[in-house]
Chain A
Amino acid sequence: MAHITINQYLQQIYEAIDNREGSFCAELLSFKHPHVANPRLQLSSPEEKCQQVLEPPYDEMVAAHLRCTFAVANHDFVEAYKLQTLVVQSFLKAFQSHKEENWALPVMFVVALDLRIFANNAEQQLLKKGKGKVGDMLEKAAELLMSCFRVCASDNRASIDDSKKWGMLFLINQLFKIYFKINKLHLCKPLIRAIDSSNLKDEYTMAQRVTYKYYVGRKAMFDSDYNPAEEYLSFSFQHCHRSSQKNKRMILIYLLPVKMLLGHMPTHQLLRKYDLMQFSDVTKAVSEGNLLLLNEALAKHETFFIRCGIFLILEKLKIITYRNLFKKVYHLLKTHQLPLDAFLVALKMMRVEEVDIDEVQCMLANLICLGHIKGYISHQHQKLVVSKQNPFPSISSVS
């Protein structure tokens, strides 16, 4: 592969297309394949050669691909991205002309993946030079991927085995990755709807489904839909292949805060196994109602939590922590008419800054409103009057 001539290469592509060998053709167009390091193929003007061997639009597609290998060899990712765009556009022309056949899906997968990767690299390159805005190229790449998606989604005539619909989930996952990167999560919605209404949704490969549920789970988290988020992320975690430790860890980073908000704390073993000890102090603090420890734990690992985008969700654990703290006060005083002052003292002991009795009333009112406390506040008597039966229902029963 690293030594073949341009003619041999073109001949191989020609045969792959002629014999409808999707996987082999895909390899010949993928940047993960060693042929891209072959200097004989890194040409800046291969159009004529390609036209001699291949029919349009394959000639344009392969010519752009070869020019792309040249650009990549010169570290010019901006150029590589532009050329990869041509590759995808030409591919799409060919793909659309394949009536009732889907042999080219593997090709679509590789060119789509390379498009996203080059868009990423190109942006990084521009940013280093102080030019370009984050998201410009990725957004354009997303538009192109959406065109591919539409071709797949609208394939209504072919039988299931030959349907292009099998390409949908892969493309959706690529689009999710882009939308998350450029922070435009609202664009995920129509894609999620498309899959939900598809009869193939449980038939795609497990790998694709795990990735899909990971992103949908993260989106649900962002929308504060914690119950569906837990469902998706749990599925993703359980079905993620045992050997992908890194992926399992990534899923866990998002699953843990959601589970904690729903009242389920992770075990020490789990945290240790996946090297997520950053969560251990947080877990301990929340269970004990220890606001001081929680604030310290959040501050200590702030950078990590912010980078992962879970800092704000972990801050929501404060509400659960207040609940646990106040429950301790209840157990200590052993009465159903609790002076508001007791809660104020508890908060001050936890070094909560600048809190006064009005704020305490508000916190308690919030917990009552959420269902975490059964009772009411009597302003005249400055007391919290709680129900004699189960005044602090378990968190999981409330959420």
Chain B
Amino acid sequence: MSTRRAPRRIFTSQKRGQPVGRGWRLNQEQQREVQEEKEGERRHDAVPRGTCMSMCPTREIHDREAQSRLHHFEMLAGTERDRRPRADPSRMVKEYSRPAAGKDSTRPSDLRPPAVLQKTVSFLIDDIAASGDLQPWTEVYDFIFDRLRSVRQDMIIQRVSGRDCVAVLEPTVRFLLYSSYRLCGEPLRRYDPRINDTHLQESLSWLMDCYARGQHPNQEEFQALSLLYNLGSARAMQHSLELPAHVRSSPAVSLALAINRAFLERNPVRLLRLAGRLDFLQSCALHRHLGACRRDLLLLYSHGHSSRNCRFPLPRLARLLGLDDPLASQLCLAHGVEVSQDAVVVFSKASFVEPEPGELRCPPFHGLVEQKQRERSVRSIIHGRA
């Protein structure tokens, strides 16, 4: 193969005349854009635009009612036990349906425009998620999960982008994060954390793409949440380092970065201390990593304090772990760390073990996160400060 060092510039055809002055250039670009849009429309199908002004297309309401495929959250009060329950149109929400060959998912009457999508999301939060009456919460989660998925599907088909997109994705991410904490420990048949994780990562990723263009007032909050949820991910950290300075230096992102740094430097004491400063939702985002952090602390101390005369006070260790004494003692036991009668920990590098899979359940250790919730309602958590 030729090893000639040919220059990368591959053509020398005439250059377009350089525009003078910014105003003129914008005009030129706009003109070109309009022309391309027209050409684009000639070449491809036009992007579908929804005309369905309610949360559920009329056709679907009729179909599902006729086929008795209503969710009981959507039923008209008083008709739930009827042979064919009636639909409550003010509570019907379009469900997710898998795209399939022969199925036209681009019919405008079936698609909801961005304003309606946002109204739908608000309904799901205010009337379903935040309602204290609807139980069990796994069912609330399943319903909202599915309906939010349908909302995202409508967005994809209509190629919604920018602020409209962000207005839907932000509450979605908050909901999925909150759920990852609230439903932690539920049996697999009722809640699968991996499925939640997949959709959460997809939504976060999409949100990050939206943030790349334009101004978004909540960006700092979500960059921080992403960093915390993806603790230790070099990719997430690299992405954060490349953010604009004002986002990177915001309190939320700075704290999230500091926590990630503590993780990379393998300083769980520092990490857990910093984690104490997180608010409730941020703690939810971080919570799935806490088990590994506590385990690291016990491992490091098992090596670092390993000596015959080791006497490390349990209350102190408990404080470092962010747990009360009995829980700290339980954690030590699960990791092979000896705790004597007089509440003294005897670290030894030989005795540390990894706990049996499934031995340690997460929910008993939720205290650190739980106490942050305090008075905050589910509604305010998912809507954000607003």
A residues engaging B (CB < 8 A)? 23, 26-27, 31-33, 36-37, 39, 69, 72-75, 106, 109-110, 129-130, 133, 183, 207, 222, 306, 309, 311-312, 315-316, 318-319, 355, 358-359, 361-366, 368-369, 376-380, 385
Contacts and interface: CB of A to CB of B under 8 A. Distances in A.
Contact of B303 (A33, A306, A312, A365): A365
A137 B33 CA distance: 21
Contacts of B320: 358
Interface stretch (B7-15, B180-188, B191-199, B358-366): B7-15
A380 B312 CA distance: 7
Contact of B241 (A311, A365, A385): A311
A364 B77 CA distance: 64
B276 interface: no
Contact of A362 (B13, B237, B269): B269
B135 interface: no
Interface of B: 1-4, 6, 10-13, 16, 33, 209, 213, 234-235, 237-238, 241-242, 261, 264-270, 273, 297, 299-301, 303-307, 309-313, 320
Given A23-B2, A376-B307, A362 B12 contact: no
Contacts of A207: 3
B267 A359 contact: yes
Contact of A72 (B11, B234, B266): B11
A73, A74, A361, A369: most-surrounded residue (chain B CB, <10 A): A369
Contacts of A306: 238, 241-242
Given A26-B1, A378-B310, 11 more contacts: A109-B1, A306-B241, A309-B238, A315-B261, A319-B266, A358-B273, A362-B267, A365-B300, A366-B266, A369-B304, A379-B310
Contacts, number: 109
Nearest to A106: B1
**Nearest 10 CB-CB pairs, A to B?**
A365-B304, A362-B269, A32-B6, A369-B303, A365-B300, A73-B13, A31-B10, A368-B304, A376-B307, A306-B241
A363 B305 contact: no
Nearest to B237: A312
A36 B309 CA distance: 80
B300 A366 contact: yes
A294 B32 CA distance: 50
Contacts of A72: 10-11
A273 B273 CA distance: 45
Contacts of A318: 265
A118 to B, nearest CB: 10
Contacts of B307: 376, 378, 385
Nearest to A31: B10
Contacts of A365: 300-301, 303-305
A152 to B, nearest CB: 15
Nearest to B209: A133
B274 to A, nearest CB: 9
Given A109-B1, A183-B235, A315-B261, A369 B268 contact: no
Contacts of A316: 264-265
A377 B305 contact: yes
B1 A364 contact: no
Nearest to A379: B312
B234 A312 contact: yes
A74 B14 CA distance: 9
B269 A376 contact: no
